Amino acid sequence: MTKLTEKRTDTRQARRRAFLEAFRATNGNASAACRRVGVARSAVYKWHERDPAFAGEWNRIIEEAFGLSGCDT
C-alpha cells in the first residue's frame, strides 16, 4: 500500500467515524449527522451498503436510539 493510498484510507475511516459519532449524537438522524460532518446522505447510505462494520455500528446506534434491542419482530 502506498503512502497516498494509506492517507486516503485513513481519511475515509476518519469521515466514517465522525459520521457515526454525529449519528449517535443526533439519536440516529442521518440527515442531521450528515449536515454536522459535511457528508452527503448518498455517501453514508453507500457506506452502509458496502461496509459491514459500518452497517453494524449504524444498526447498534439505531437500536440504542429507538430502544429496539431485544425486541421481537
What is the value of pTM for the model shown? 0.81
Binned at pLDDT 50, 70 and 90, residue 70 comes out as low
The 3 state secondary structure assigned to 11-33 is: HHHHHHHHHHHHHHHCCCCHHHH
pLDDT, residue 67, reads 87
Q: Find the angle CA(53)-CA(9)-CA(1) to the nearest 5 degrees.
A: 115
- In this structure, is the dihedral angle defined by the CA atoms of residues 35, 39, 41 and 44, taken in order, positive or negative? negative
Determine the pLDDT at residue 10.
Answer: 83
pLDDT digits (tens, 9 = 90+) for 16-29: 999 999 999 999 99
- pLDDT tens digits for range 37-62: 999 999 999 999 999 999 999 999 99
pLDDT for res 8: 73
